[in-house]
A and B are shown apart, each in its own frame.
Chain A
Amino acid sequence: MGMASSRLVDRMTEILGPEGVISEREQLRAYECDGLMNYRVIPEIVVLPETAEHVQRIVRYCHDEGIPFVARGSGTGLSGGALPVESGVLIVLSRMRRILEVDIPNQRVVVEPGVINIWVSQAVADEGYYYAPDPASQIVSSIGGNLAENSGGVHCLKYGFTTNHVMGAEVVLPDGTMVNIGGGKAPDAPGYELLGAFVGSEGTLGIATKITLRVVRKPASVKTLLAAFKDTEEAGDAVSGIIGSGIVPAAIEMMDSLCIEAVETAVHPGFPQAGAVLIVELDGPEAEVSSQFDQTIEICEKANASEIRIAQDDEERALFWKGRKAAFAAMGRIANDYYVQDAVVPRTELGATLKRISELGSEYGMRVANVFHAGDGNLHPLVLYDNDVPGEAEKAEDLAGEIVMTCLEHGGSLTGEHGIGRDKMKYMPKMFTTEDMDTMQLLRCAFDPHHICNPGKVFPTPRLCGEKPGPFHMHPVQKAGLAENF
């Protein structure tokens, strides 16, 4: 790899000072991948801006010189969204960590993009508020990354995803222009709904430098139960029963036996030994929660729950959630390696899809653990494998691919929350037609005509803007031999 051109280093040092620039190969290695470690690229240079103006100056320079750049928050993304570009600049936002304003009367918090998700809830907890989207990575992932991925969490079933809670953003566009999109404190900004398109655009339309979030009042009452079932099918019946009865739970999460085993070994939440467990949480006004909670218990009993535990206090509730949120990491206890899949099916297709996943696991002779957001049909099959066994990693990826295809066949989506990133570009044509993707590209080209903002992500056949649809053009990453063909 060529050393970062000294001009680039000089210019970045001029903007950020030496402590804001990393150009030594050994140090650059720390940034070669995000949470998805299958793909690694060492960037030309890493820069650590401290202000929006820094970001603007960096991006403007990249634009003027035609240098590609990639934004990175905490690097916990699971689809390779923050994978660097070899000849490009990686803009790491982790030094932009100020909470700029807490405005309780308007129920808003204004933050810099590097602020960690949980800090927002902590900043308003004393006032009886919290920030609703709660990805399992909430103690490390950044608000900027959450915005870019439109991250979900266990409580999004009732309260919506990141996109329903971001009210405005200051954005540095790929040409270095700084704009405000969305209303911020006031709703309904006139003009196009650019904010809705920007949230979830995986860092391809610009860099958010200031974000206005909506915070919500803590519920009057919260009740949580854990129910054990013979298998995921019976647990699935309970899920359908609850949703079908008109209850909108704050969360319904399911874990299968393999997952329970791993979590028990890792964090000892004391889960019952069962084929599947459900964690169901209801929150809201007292009278509603207590009546619907009783109804939920009844539904679980009717679905043959072998055991129902009710959290007696916040501590026990936290223990249930600790078990759930540790699920991915806990896989390390029962397998050397695992591949996290993220896909969605319509809720009524859950049973059939799980059955097919288990068949696929047998066909491949591999173990698949399931932990998922059952309420909104968002599956996270974890394919377990051993990297030391030659060929296993590839086999695991193939199996994960078949699983996502199964979800599509059942009317679902390639990803519910982890994004397309680098990882799932190759599957995009399975879900979208060329016309669909070309139309999305129109939006991308409007924001980033020179294709320098997180290039090589989301779309498998990126066309240069203004180019007529036609045969595929090799992407620079591929040309450089860094990525196999799709």
Chain B
Amino acid sequence: MDTRTNNVSLGDLQGIVGEANAREANGSDEIDGVRPSFVAEPGSVEELSALMRFANDEGLAVAPRGGGTSSSLGNPPRELDLIVSTARMNEVIEHVPGDQVVRVQTGIRFQDLQERLAGSDQMLGVDPPERAAGATVGGIVAANSSGPRRHRYGTIRDLIIGVTVVLPDGTVAKAGGKVVKNVAGYDLGKLFTGSLGTLGVIATANFRLHPRPEAARTVAVELGDSAAAGQAAQAIMHSQLVPSAVELHWGEGHGLLTVLLEGITPAAEAQAEEAEFLLKGFGETRTLSDEEVDDLGPYAPPGSPGSGEEVALKIAFPPAELTGVLDSTLGACSRRGLDAPRITGQAGIGVLYVGLSGGDEDARVSVTEELREIWVRRGGSVVVRGAPLSFKRRVETWGRWAPGSSSPAA
């Protein structure tokens, strides 16, 4: 056992967060095979601060946890003594519909928040797939998780307007505020976005909201090859349509590009018609029924729990290079004897999630390194989002990126 936790007893933690809210860790608390000693669930910013200060004084290695859907993002923890769960900090602190702003404790589940906001015909404009697995708002911020609608609304870093964070030494600090426009002080909310719990725990967060669209239409085009995919995506990007999402779904040898158009009903309909017109030169087009849309999404992207893939990559690239990304990925997989990969992602933004399966580990490592070699050189990145431990030990999670860049996080 880790010697440092020898000095700490469960009782110490229960003394801070209450008897019912700290326990010994078990197998389900492991992160990449590393088992912590304890799990504690503070119920307030004050308790969280006291807990962090205690852990700091005792030299405990801490990992914050929200819904636990993305805990294995990043490199395996070097050490881990205590999991600080935000599960009990799940209140909406303030929602003034007229301000289109919400303030929450970050342990609130994203779906719960979204349902609450729907009551006022508002929404937080992100739709990360992890939400279906119980992701919390804090986890989504810490992992900078995003989904199809980032095409229109950006990612959570574009919507976060204020935070309260608890630093590893227990310091409670806030930045930003509850107004949508604000340049007083440094924007620590953005700095903490995607920091994967390495800078401290995000305790509360404030967001700008959007009105919920009245109607949605999804237009799809069947794509015979990668060239058509690139052209179709460009046609939508440079049109005057205002899609909420432009998604590529690539299976064996062919794909589907879906364009989500939202707004008031006549506008969604008019835009859908225009989208079909723009897309019909690239393949067979149709408007998807609600059931077909449900079948496609909220889909489990490669790497999400239960998606079955061995290795899940996220490739970020200049969006005009969509065809090249598809070609290089499909080519590398077939040359190294992997199955045809499952690919989904935001074609208009330049993000594809790729699931590698089949072949042996050597082959999967080679494909990852080959893609990295190409896409880092072309200004992008290839990140390992999910993989067996043996793979993670061989391939650096974040990869190198463009020379001169700042260095990697967790």
A and B from one complex: yes
Any B CB within 8 A of the CB of A24? no
Contact with B along A168-189 (1 / 0, CB 8 A): 0010000000111101111111
- A107 CA / B349 CA spacing, docked (Å): 10
Q: Is A406 interfacial (CB 8 A cutoff)?
A: no
Instruction: Closest A residue to B211 by CB, please name it.
Output: A246
User: In this assembly, does B167 line the interface, its C-beta being within 8 Å of a C-beta of chain A?
Assistant: yes
Among A29-37, A190-198, A270-278, A328-336, the stretch in contact with B: A190-198
Whether a CB of chain B sits under 8 angstroms from the CB of A464 is no
Residues of chain A with a CB closer than 8 A to B237's CB: 107, 217
Q: Is B56 an interface residue (CB 8 A)?
A: no
Cβ of A199 under 8 Å from chain B: yes
Q: Is A312 interfacial (CB-CB < 8 Å)?
A: no
* Chain B, 179-201, CB within 8 A of any chain A CB: 179-195, 199
Please measure, in the bound complex, the distance between the C-alpha atom of A107 and the C-alpha atom of B234, giving whole angstroms.
10
Chain B's nearest CB lies how many Å from the CB of A105? 4
Say if the beta carbon of B131 comes within 8 Å of chain A.
no
Closest B residue to A420 by beta carbon equals: B184
Distance (whole angstroms) from the CB of A222 to the closest CB of chain B: 11
Q: Which one, B261-269, B277-285, B292-300, B305-313, is touching chain A?
A: B261-269
Given A186-B381, A285-B241, A287-B270; A193-B175 close (CB under 8 Å):
no
Query: Which residues in window 136-190 of B have CB below 8 A to A?
Result: 144, 154-155, 157-158, 165, 167, 171-175, 177-190
Q: When the two chains form their complex, are residues A435 and B182 in contact, meaning their CB atoms are under 8 A apart?
A: no
A243 beta carbon closer than 8 Å to chain B: yes
Question: Which residues of B have CB within 8 Å of A377?
Answer: 99, 179-181
**B165 in contact with A439 (CB, 8 Å):** yes
A101 vs chain B, min Cβ distance (A): 12
Q: Is the CB of A180 within 8 A of B405?
A: yes
Is B121 interfacial (CB 8 A cutoff)?
Answer: yes
Residue of A nearest to B97 (CB): A244
Tell whether A156 is near chain B: CB-to-CB under 8 Å: yes
A345 adjacent to chain B (CB < 8 Å)? yes
- Complex interface: stretch among A86-94, A381-389, A410-418, A470-478: A410-418
Question: Within the assembled complex, what's the spacing in Å between the Cα atoms of A240 and B179?
Answer: 15
Does A220 reach chain B (CB closer than 8 Å)?
yes
Q: Is A49 an interface residue, CB under 8 A from the partner?
A: no
Nearest residue, chain B, Cβ from A178? B404
Binds A, one of B57-65, B317-325, B363-371: B317-325
| Structural contact, A163 and B314, CB atoms closer than 8 A | no
What sequence of 0s and 1s flags, for each residue 433-460 of chain A, a beta carbon within 8 Å of any chain B beta carbon? 1011111100110000000000000100
Contact with A along B198-220 (1 / 0, CB 8 A): 01000000000011101000000
Beta-carbon contact of A104 and B238 below 8 Å: yes
Q: Is B399 an interface residue (CB 8 A)?
A: yes
Given A435-B173, A438-B171, A189 contacting B405 (CB threshold 8 A): yes
Q: Is the CB of B179 within 8 A of A196?
A: no
8 Å CB interface, A189-214 against B? 189-197, 199-201
Interface status of A218 (Cβ within 8 A of chain B): yes
B259 smallest CB distance to A (angstroms): 13
B398 part of interface (Cβ distance < 8 Å): yes
Q: Shortest CB–CB separation between residue B39 and chain A, in angstroms?
A: 27
B238 is contacted by which of A217, A243, A291, A439 (Cβ under 8 Å)?
A217
The answer on a CB contact under 8 Å between B194 and A193 is: yes
Bound complex: CA A220 to CA B99 (Å): 28
- B contact residues around A465 at 8 Å (CB): none
Provide the residues of chain B in CB contact with A184, threshold 8 Å: 379, 402
Most buried by B among A197, A373, A439: A439
Residues of A near B193 (CB, < 8 A) are 193, 196
**Contact A348–B239 (Cβ < 8 Å):** no
B263 touches A105 (CB 8 A): no
Is A292's CB within 8 Å of the partner chain B?
yes
- Residue of A156, A291, A414 near B264 (CB, 8 A) is A291
Whether the Cβ atoms of B191 and A248 lie closer than 8 Å is: no
User: Which A236-256 residues have C-beta < 8 A from chain B?
Assistant: 240, 243-244, 246-248
Residues of B within 8 A of A156 (CB): 181
Give the residues in chain B near A16, CB-CB below 8 Å. none
Q: Are B211 and A217 in contact (CB under 8 A)?
A: no
Whether A432 sits at the interface, judged by CB under 8 Å, is yes
Measured CB to CB, the closest approach of chain A to B328, in angstroms, equals 14
Q: Contacts of A14 on B, CB cut-off 8 Å? A: none
- Distance of B44 from chain A, by nearest CB (Å): 17
B331-357 to A contact mask, C-beta < 8 Å, 1/0: 000000000000000000111000000
Residue B38 at the chain A interface, CB threshold 8 Å: no
- Residue A401 lies at the interface, judged by CB distance under 8 Å to chain B: no
Cβ A194 vs Cβ B191 within 8 A: yes
Which residue of A has the minimal Cβ distance to B402? Answer: A180
Tell me how far the C-beta of A384 lies from the nearest C-beta in chain B, rounded to whole angstroms: 24
Q: From B98, B171, B181, B238, give the contact of A416 (CB < 8 A).
A: B181
Chain B residues with CB under 8 A of A196? 157, 187, 189-191, 193
A219 CB to nearest chain B CB (Å) = 7
How distant is the Cα of A458 from the Cα of B186 in the complex, in angstroms?
9
Q: Across the interface, which residues of B come within 8 angstroms of A322, CB to CB?
A: none
When chains A and B are docked, how far (Å) is the Cα of A443 from the Cα of B187? 10
Alpha-carbon gap, A412 to B172, bound state (A): 20
In the complex, the answer to whether B379 meets A348 with C-beta atoms within 8 Å is no
A382 to chain B, nearest CB (A): 18
In angstroms, Cα B238 to Cα A218, docked, is 10
| A197 and B398 contact, CB distance less than 8 A | no
Any chain A CB within 8 A of the CB of B383? yes
CA A412 to CA B234, docked complex, whole Å: 41
B400 to chain A, nearest CB (A): 9
Chain A: minimal CB distance from B290 (Å): 21
Q: Determine if B34 is an interface residue (Cβ-Cβ < 8 Å).
A: no
Q: Are A417 and B181 in contact (CB under 8 A)?
A: yes
Is there contact, CB below 8 Å, between B181 and A106? Answer: no
CA of A417 to CA of B179 in the docked complex: distance in angstroms? 12
Interface: B401 (CB within 8 A): yes
- Set of chain B residues within 8 Å of A420, measured between Cβ atoms: 183-185
Q: Give the docked Cα–Cα distance between A26 and B379 (Å).
A: 46
Q: Flag if A288 contacts B234 (CB, 8 Å).
A: no
Q: In the complex, A288→B261 CA distance in Å?
A: 12
Instruction: Pick from B158, B186, B242, B378: contact of A197, CB below 8 A.
Output: B186
Q: A190-B399, A286-B270 are in contact. Are A348 and B99 (CB under 8 A)?
A: yes
- Does B258 reach chain A (CB closer than 8 Å)? no
Contact of B314 among A188, A247, A435 (CB under 8 A): A188
Interface-centre pick from A150, A161, A192, A437 (highest chain B CB count, 10 A): A192
For window 101-131 of B, CB contacts with A under 8 Å fall at 101, 121
Chain B residues, Cβ within 8 Å of A185: 318, 350, 379
Complex CA–CA separation, A225 to B192 (angstroms): 40
Tell me how far the C-beta of B89 lies from the nearest C-beta in chain A, rounded to whole angstroms. 19
Whether A411 pairs with B351 at a CB distance below 8 angstroms is: no
Cβ–Cβ contact B185 & A437, under 8 A: yes
Contact A161-B181, Cβ < 8 Å, known A193-B190, A439-B188: yes
Q: Report the Cα distance A156→B182, complex, angstroms.
A: 12
Within 8 Å CB of B28, what residues of A? Answer: none
* A376 within 8 Å of B (CB atoms): yes
Known: A106-B319, A180-B406, A436-B173. 6 other contacts (CB 8 A): A180-B402, A195-B190, A197-B190, A217-B239, A248-B210, A344-B177
Residues of B whose CB lies within 8 Å of any CB of A are 96-101, 121, 144, 154-155, 157-158, 165, 167, 171-175, 177-195, 199, 210-212, 214, 234, 237-242, 263-264, 266-267, 269-271, 314, 316-320, 349-351, 375, 378-381, 383, 398-399, 401-402, 404-409
* Smallest CB-CB A-B distances: 3 pairs: A196-B190, A105-B320, A288-B267
A-B contact pairs, 8 of them (CB 8 A): A186-B375, A191-B408, A191-B409, A193-B194, A199-B187, A200-B187, A285-B241, A346-B178
Binding site for B on A (CB under 8 A): 103-108, 128, 149-150, 152, 156, 160-161, 163-164, 170, 178-181, 183-197, 199-201, 217-220, 240, 243-244, 246-248, 284-288, 291-292, 344-348, 373, 376-378, 411-420, 424, 428, 431-433, 435-440, 443-444, 458
